[in-house]
Amino acid sequence: MMPYLLSAGAGILVGVIYALIGVRSPAPPTIALIGLLGMLVGEQVVPVVKRLIAGEPVVAFIQTDCARHVLGPHAGVAAPQTESDPADKGGKA
């Protein structure tokens, strides 16, 4: 959640600076951002329908894979742990 709050805070700060110096924001209009969200959600329709047809669980898929794809890796789902490089721990590779 923190990355989202930091991102929103940075955006607000930049918006305030733009307003103070009298410059219009180059950001796309809200309608374009809603269209992008629709594209992200629409991409998830096909995998969900395929799972429904195959009789596989859908709710867990939506809560994990779909949420991660649409909202990003910080969407309340723990990122998968990866093997760390032995060199990171001071060992020899």
Q: What is the pLDDT of residue 9?
A: 93
The CA distance from 58 to 52, in Å, is 7
pLDDT digits (tens, 9 = 90+) for 9-46: 999 999 899 999 999 888 788 888 898 888 888 888 88
The CA distance from 11 to 47, in Å, is 33
1-5, 9-13, 47-51: the lowest-pLDDT one: 1-5
